Amino acid sequence: MRIVTSPEVLAFVRANGGCLWVWPVDLRYVPGLEGVFALEAAFEPPGPERRFARFAGEGIEVFVDGESRGLPRELHLELRGIVRKRVRAYWEGHSFGRA
């Protein structure tokens, strides 16, 4: 898996502990979007029920839950927000993935 990101994201992740967890969230509660998922990203793991693959480089560690959906060829990380900055993760550059 290749991680596509920017120097701003790298600096932001480093400033927040150096670790980022990424996992899929099913959108099954939205009619017509069965089998569609988005990615969540946080500086804390979501809980013990998930298994993560570790990717390290550029002074950060990215932990990706690839067990339920596999891993994308590319994981894009972007910095979003004006007042409350956060990292958003994209499956091969897309907001949503399909099972």
pLDDT of residue 86: 97
Residue 14 is given by DSSP the state: H
Task: Identify the domain containing residue 87 by its residue range.
Answer: 2-98
- Return the CATH number at 26: 2.60.300.12
**pTM to 2 decimal places:** 0.89
Give, for all 99 residues of the chain, the pLDDT tens digit.
Answer: 999 999 999 999 999 999 999 999 887 776 766 678 889 999 999 988 889 999 999 999 999 998 878 899 999 999 999 999 999 999 998 877 766
Residue-wise DSSP of 28-87: TTSTT-TTEEEEEEESS---TT---EEEEETTEEEEE--TTT---SEEEEEEE-SSS-EE
- What lies within 8 Å, CB to CB, of 59 at 6+ separation is 10, 14, 18
Let me know the angle formed at the C-alpha of 2 by 20 and 18, rounded to the nearest 5 degrees: 20
pLDDT of residue 12: 98
Counting the structural domains of the chain, the total is 1
